[in-house]
């Protein structure tokens, strides 16, 4: 797959670059450039990102960072079985536990919420950092909802992290998930309050809390593009009678 010439591979995370040093220099550069493309495209064009990840995987399947990138690209395209296999391989190679929550979420994606819940109770969870533990809580709550256990999902999300007024990278998503679960349980007033709290913490637009609040308030959004088209059609297809009268007056003055 073509890679823009301005992508050198130097943009890669230093830890990943360190891993790639086990490869011959030219090969390491090719792999890093493909990994840069995965990182750049995974949000806006997951299918393309997946394509670049397969190239990197073909070139360096024994590098944990490559297997992890391939896992995330497969995950972004909802290829959960493939993603889970790549995450397991990366975990075997690196020995770390940071992929545990996303592995559990793959189990949810494969229609196995019970397995995700079992993983939430494993010792690996205690080895996760705070962000990883919050992520695991979100996955477990999602698994509860998959099973129709709304009240249990709400309880799962109730935690010191949810109650804290401090804002962390995961705060908005945690508050949003709690609000969404409350709303699903019919607790609209509480849900509205927590969507508001999610919005306060969401500096990067990670959630659509503002849209959900507007929806609860009965606000309807009009597509600006459609509105512009409507304005254009008004200008081209509707005659302003006042303007027409003015034209007649001017013509009369000339006479």
What would the pLDDT profile of 7-41 be if each residue is shown by its tens digit?
Answer: 998 899 999 999 999 999 999 999 999 999 999 99
* Residue 57 C-alpha from the chain's centroid: 23
CA atoms of 176 and 198, how far apart (whole Å): 5
Binned at pLDDT 50, 70 and 90, residue 247 comes out as: very low
Q: Give the CB-side neighbour count of residue 202, counting CA atoms within 13 A.
A: 19
CA atoms of 105 and 85, how far apart (whole Å): 13
Structure tokens at 240: 């302003």
Q: What is the pLDDT of residue 218?
A: 83
Q: What is the pLDDT of residue 53?
A: 97
Structure tokens at 214: 């507007």
Mean pLDDT, range 157-181, rounded to an integer: 96
How many residues are listed for the chain in this entry? 255
Collapsed DSSP state (helix, strand, coil) of residue 13: coil
Cβ within 8 Å of residue 79, ≥6 positions away: 50
For the chain, give the percent of residues with pLDDT over 90: 79
What are the tens digits of pLDDT across the range 188-205? 999 999 999 999 999 989
Whether 245 shows a pLDDT value over 80: the answer reads no
CA atoms of 26 and 160, how far apart (whole Å): 49
Whether 131 shows a pLDDT value over 80: the answer reads yes
Least confident of 13-17, 47-51, 148-152: 13-17
Q: What is the pLDDT of residue 7?
A: 92
Of the candidates 3, 58, 2, 74, the one whose C-alpha atom is nearest the C-alpha of residue 36 is 3
The two counts, helices (H) then strands (E), for the chain are 16, 0
CA atoms of 232 and 113, how far apart (whole Å): 51
In degrees and rounded to multiples of 5, residue 91 shows phi and psi of -70, -40
Binned at pLDDT 50, 70 and 90, residue 248 comes out as: very low
């Amino acid at each position: 797959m073509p890679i823009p010439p301005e992508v050198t591979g130097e943009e890669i995370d230093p830890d990943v670059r360190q891993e790639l040093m086990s490869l011959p220099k030219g090969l390491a550069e090719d792999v890093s450039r493909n990994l840069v493309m995965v990182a750049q495209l995974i949000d806006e064009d997951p299918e393309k990102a997946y394509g670049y990840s397969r190239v990197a995987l073909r070139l360096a399947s024994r590098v944990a960072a490559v297997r992890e990138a391939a896992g995330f690209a497969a995950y972004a395209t909802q290829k959960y079985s493939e993603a889970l296999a790549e995450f397991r391989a990366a975990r075997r190679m690196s020995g770390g536990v940071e992929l545990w929550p996303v592995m559990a979420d793959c189990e949810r994606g494969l229609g196995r919420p019970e397995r995700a819940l079992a993983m939430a109770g494993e010792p690996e969870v205690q080895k996760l950092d705070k962000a990883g533990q919050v992520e695991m809580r979100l996955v477990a709550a999602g698994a509860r909802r998959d099973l129709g256990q709304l009240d249990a999902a709400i309880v799962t999300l109730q935690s010191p992290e949810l109650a804290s007024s401090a804002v962390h990278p995961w705060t908005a998503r945690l508050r949003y998930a709690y609000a969404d679960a409350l709303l699903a349980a019919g607790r609209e007033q509480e849900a509205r309050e927590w969507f508001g709290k999610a919005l306060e913490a969401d500096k990067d637009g990670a959630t659509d809390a503002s849209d959900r609040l507007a929806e609860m308030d009965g606000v309807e959004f009009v597509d600006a593009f459609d509105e512009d088209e409507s304005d254009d059609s008004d200008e081209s297809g509707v005659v302003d009678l006042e303007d027409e009268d003015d034209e007649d007056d001017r013509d009369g003055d000339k006479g």
